[in-house]
Structure 1
């Protein structure tokens, strides 16, 4: 992976010094080399983490006839196949020049032939048009700011602010979106004026200065409902192997994360079979808490498959030490406590490899979260009018003990008003009513999420998560935390061909006889011990419930209710205090809500106040 950035001004030359600042802000994404290029109103910058064609493929790259200029972040897994069909005087052996050649021969629609993960900025000199493209699933990020001066874009928001050299401002309309999902849904961000290009979209801006954003990919509809289960398992096995094989394209060592869950374990097992006698390095993290640690399961898989296994332990002090710097890398609140563990894991992996595979996507493709089992309950709950249903939900929730955290989440989701609100509430720290109390108003109507099309409740839930939770939370954190360690992350299960296969299948092959992720588990049985396949899903959890009552208790209260608190100034301070009191009393487990607010506070300290102080000092 790499870092890209650039500018297209409305008038006047691009700023060379601004591009240099942009390059410096992205150095962690590409420590191997960097370069900037300016031609009149257009400026491009690139920082490189060399993965393919290590000695060549320098960027920005220009077509031999100077018709296109490109900066590109990511990997095109099918670049060798595409190259065979391109009549072009190639000078390198990498995937970047294949992209350039394809643009020369076929125009911007060539991106629809790419298999891989990418964010692209490509300037058509003939048509005087800048194109921005993000991969289908949103594995890699791309941000931009458009105003009267032109458009500035980059792999990370900090690159935009570095070019402009202006203190950032908060977008208050994005606070509701953040409190609803611990991340702001595309195209919005917490920064005023900064937009996030949605997955599967491309944008173009020509001489008129107007920006047009179009969707070029979406998951297909369910194609058949009467498929033979045994045949489908065979086909899923073949496609998963193909996706893992594609993700191994590299000229540097490739390892894999290994949590001990079925997704990462299956990827490691397939990877080892494909590699044969070649060694495979795997990496796992623990927290010193037997309630959430999965190190023993990861070790079991490593021993069974035969990998060189590495472990790292994360402690509460790591959170306090790393929280500010990783918030800077994220350009957003640290949405999940596990983000910091992912970074420590990436640090360890970077000592051995340059690329790691991971298991993101298995739950969103094949129905792995426990909530998918209860999808049909949402429809039954909606038979009761929203008002009485929500009143009953509040009554019951107040009486649930802290130990029934999963039941509490289910109750909140099932008693939410509409189906789209039910879908959003499963991962929401705060309900719509709680957000209204904290912020003091309802969200802007244009910020509301839409109910996706789908054949049934499970299908709609999967499509909702694929469009929101996955790219805006899981993939965003995966990119930032690994790039902070200059490590490339590849999720093979999000190969778009595998995604299209999965979304063409009926829900009864995903959640079957009450078993979540049935199809993936049936494939996994061919590679893994039965106890790995059937064990209860835990997830990458951090023991924050106890930490917020002990080592992190004081910092939480000081930061959220103190006189200089950003959270205390924009949200209802009394409601925040009541939240802290409930958690400290032990009757309720409010760890995720406290984490959500604390992460927002740290983000403001680092990315708004901190950046403004740095800008004024400069």
Structure 2
């Protein structure tokens, strides 16, 4: 696990080792064990790398790594690579290449990638099982190959300047450090942020800085940037059902195999344990493979049982005799950490649970260098409660028809103050699936109507088909004809998972120089889970039915049947206590950046209503705080033109 950066300067000639060095030094925490830069002797390219040593911890794994033609003089290098992540099946790929006569000089997975690219070309990506962001300079072709893993576990950002320089990095801040310009953000992207709590797809709120999408690779040369998709998920169209026994047996086999691969490490590892079924499953299955006591780590708040899963984590720890470590987050620490959170997240993402993850990552780093977690299980097995009510609403619409649903939606709007919960369901009933699942819930729309200034509403009304909207529509179009649950799982894997949860996981773990591995996102398991009929994922009101069916032989009933919590944070109560004054000072400051687009009196009302317990506005208040602090700390200007 590392951090990478680089620049190709065909036009302006800004590619230098000093540029690469400046970029990687912005995220030194990603690789405290080693660092390196390389400037191509005869080409306008510079690469940089920060290393956290996991596989082959010797200097042989140093990056940028070069391959050579006839000699080992730098001028004879034919390829150079920087790589962030792990190729878990690197041993198998290396043996396959050896059988073809390829010679290796190290035990590192980095060399396996480099030699595989030289031998197979872009199709080498089909060989890799792992999490990765890759950049390889081809000296002969004078082009840069870049790639991101199938699920987007590792980040990859890039920026093409007006002068023709192509910058890339593991974090946006590395690009900002070397590109001298006033950064703007589009109003349409802020609107998407207010809907989702993050910006989905390739765009970021730094206008012009883009993400390489998961499952995509690209070639950058003088001809420009050529992007292609090398992987996608194909769901069961409902035409095949091999029975629960078959799917359970194969799923269990794949989960165990995924865990096996992720045990490959030359440094100590542990497990994040919430006491939920996902992390508990990892503990249970990993315990079968070792006699050594596992290190497990959990986090909670001193705000009551609803924000503290330690009871369940201890139960699992006792069951499997782990060496368990706990940390409790003080709400006062939460407030102090907010600005650092903004810096580490790099993008405005309203994932408050990231702060909990930061503290438990710090705890884990005191004992291990690698941790496994249960991330991704909900998106492949259908673990969220809203999957059930979204499916239920779709069944209602099928029975009563769209016109009656529209009438119910009107009724829902009229009773919003009397019964918000019933109102929400009635309003959702009046929306098509795509309207409902675009991230624009009835509550979200209500907040926007209150918050946006008139001129902002007018601009957004003219921007109905933004780049982000087009991306979301493309995702919906790809799943037409599938059942509702499959469509939601595909959509969430491409948006919520990658642009929220995995960003959180990467930033908070790497901030502590800790590698986080996610066995449920082994691409083989993801591909197979997509073939499982939806009624084995949600069955008679039970979410993740097939996973619970598998794990009932491994875990206590209390864990199998407990309600999902994740990394809960007591923001609702904090905005009535520790964060009340802070929120008021940040959001209502005279020089607040968000004052340009939001109505001040509306924000004041949201704060007061929440403080006096007249409404639960904690989600939108947190969204506004994250956006305001991000705009101010990054000196980003809001473009009211779009």
State if a TM-score over 0.5 links the two structures: yes
Structure 2 unaligned residues grouped into runs of 5+: 70-76, 638-642
CA distance in 2, matches of 1:599, 1:408: 28
- Residues 260 and 548 of structure 1: is their aligned pair in 2 closer, same or farther, counting only changes over 3 Å? same
Counterpart of 2:410 in structure 1 is 391
Deviating more after overlay: 69-78 vs 166-175: 166-175
Task: Report if aligned partners of 1:130, 1:204 keep a CA contact under 8 Å in 2.
Answer: yes
Q: In structure 2, which of residues 70, 85, 90 is the aligned counterpart of residue 74 of structure 1? A: 85
Task: Report if aligned partners of 2:412, 2:425 keep a CA contact under 8 Å in 1.
Answer: no
Question: By how many angstroms is 1:494 displaced?
Answer: 0.4
Q: Deviations over 1:554-585 (max 9, x none)?
A: 11122112211112222232332222232123
CA distance in 1, matches of 2:197, 2:507: 15
Question: By how many angstroms is 1:127 displaced?
Answer: 2.0
Question: By how many angstroms is 1:108 displaced?
Answer: 1.8
Task: Report if aligned partners of 1:412, 1:426 keep a CA contact under 8 Å in 2.
Answer: no
How many residues are treated as equivalent by the alignment?
A: 603
Question: By how many angstroms is 1:234 displaced?
Answer: 1.5
Instruction: Describe how 1:20-419 pairs up with structure 2 within 5 A.
Output: 20-39=21-40, 40-55=43-58, 56-65=60-69, 66-86=77-97, 87-148=101-162, 149-208=164-223, 210-222=224-236, 225-274=240-289, 276-290=290-304, 291-379=306-394, 380-381=396-397, 383-385=401-403, 388-400=407-419, 413-415=428-430, 417-419=431-433
SS in 1 for 2:402: coil
Question: By how many angstroms is 1:18 displaced?
Answer: 1.9
TM-score where L is the length of structure 2:
0.90
CA distance in 2, matches of 1:582, 1:487: 40
Question: By how many angstroms is 1:412 displaced?
Answer: 5.7
Counterpart of 1:459 in structure 2 is 486
Question: By how many angstroms is 1:587 displaced?
Answer: 2.1
Question: By how many angstroms is 1:433 displaced?
Answer: 7.5
CA distance in 1, matches of 2:599, 2:146: 39
Q: In structure 2, which of residues 563, 579, 603 is the aligned counterpart of residue 536 of structure 1? A: 563
Task: Report if aligned partners of 1:346, 1:481 keep a CA contact under 8 Å in 2.
Answer: yes
Q: Deviations over 1:129-187 (max 9, x none)?
A: 21211100010100000123221000000011112244533333310111111111120
Task: Report if aligned partners of 1:180, 1:428 keep a CA contact under 8 Å in 2.
Answer: no
Q: CA RMSD in A?
A: 2.1
Instruction: Describe how 1:456-605 pairs up with structure 2 within 5 A.
Output: 456-605=483-632
Q: Deviations over 1:48-79 (max 9, x none)?
A: 00000000211111122233211000000000
Deviating more after overlay: 537-546 vs 46-55: 537-546
SS in 2 for 1:497: helix
Q: Deviations over 1:413-449 (max 9, x none)?
A: 444x332221133889723872695242244513211
Counterpart of 2:8 in structure 1 is 8
- Residues 6 and 367 of structure 1: is their aligned pair in 2 closer, same or farther, counting only changes over 3 Å? same
Structure 1 unaligned residues grouped into runs of 5+: 611-618
CA distance in 2, matches of 1:9, 1:171: 27
Question: By how many angstroms is 1:384 displaced?
Answer: 3.1
SS in 1 for 2:234: coil
CA distance in 2, matches of 1:428, 1:470: 22
CA distance in 2, matches of 1:578, 1:280: 49
